[in-house]
Amino acid sequence: MRNLTGWQAFRGVSLVSACLLSACMLRPEGFERDTGASTNPTLFRNLAELPEKPPAPPAEAIDQAVQSLTADRATTEAAADMLRREPFVTPAPPPPRSEF
């Protein structure tokens, strides 16, 4: 790779920039340029139409879910420990390829 002079580097960067900008100007037929102005104004929901906040679940249900998740975590940790203690068995190599 040869060293470029400042002028050659400038010309190269200018050429690449011009190509990229011209590619941005091309667009498929049927696509309109976005002018930034929307023809439809933004509509906001009427706050009076929002549904009421759902009731909180009872404390018993929350406690039951916590206990269930704690038990699941303990079971998962025990299974992971058991898998870590098992020796790794290297699988047998595949049989040789037969030629047809």
pTM value? 0.39
Q: Which domain holds residue 69?
A: 59-83
**Residue 44 is assigned to a structural domain of this protein:** no
**Residue 70 is assigned to a structural domain of this protein:** yes
**Residue 24 is assigned to a structural domain of this protein:** no
**Residue 72 is assigned to a structural domain of this protein:** yes
Side-chain half-sphere CA neighbours of 58 within 13 A: 3
**Residue 33 is assigned to a structural domain of this protein:** no
**Residue 92 is assigned to a structural domain of this protein:** no
Q: How many domains does the chain have?
A: 1
CA atoms of 2 and 48, how far apart (whole Å): 71
Angle value at C-alpha 33, between 28 and 36, nearest 5 degrees: 150
pLDDT, mean of each 10-residue run, the chain (100 residues): 68 75 64 60 80 93 97 97 91 86
**Residue 73 is assigned to a structural domain of this protein:** yes
**What is the CA 21 to chain-centroid distance, rounded?**
29
pLDDT at 50: 87
DSSP at 47: G
